[in-house]
């Protein structure tokens, strides 16, 4: 989601959809022997981090909207910050 403009809810949801599809494709490729387990794990780690960033962005936008703020002020946070959250 590294773009010059700030992503909208629709942008983030579309990216989430694409990333979930990529997760599924990676698992299928591993199952069929098209990629190695280490390649799958490496790419899945990147995909899952980006998914966490997308979900975090949506939560930020919702929180700003709910408190009368401008959801356009939300921004994609660095992986280290997003990955450090506890559910």
pTM: 0.85
Note the pLDDT tens digit of each residue in 12-63.
Answer: 999 999 999 999 999 999 999 999 999 999 999 999 999 999 999 999 999 9
Question: Tokens 């989601």, residue?
Answer: 1
Query: Would you list the domain boundaries of the chain?
Result: 9-68
pLDDT band at 83 (very low <50, low <70, confident <90, very high): confident
pLDDT value of position 57: 96
The answer to whether residue 85 scores a pLDDT higher than 90 is no
Angle between helices 9-31 and 37-66 (to 10 degrees): 160
pLDDT at 6: 84
């Amino acid at each position: 989601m590294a773009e010059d403009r700030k992503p909208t809810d629709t942008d983030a949801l579309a990216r989430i959809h694409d990333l979930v599809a990529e997760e599924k494709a990676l698992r299928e490729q591993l199952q069929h022997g098209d990629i190695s387990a280490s390649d799958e794990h490496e790419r899945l780690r990147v995909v899952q981090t980006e998914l966490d960033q997308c979900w975090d962005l949506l939560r930020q936008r919702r929180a700003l909207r709910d408190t009368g703020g401008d959801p356009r002020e939300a921004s994609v946070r660095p992986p280290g910050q997003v990955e450090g959250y506890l559910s």
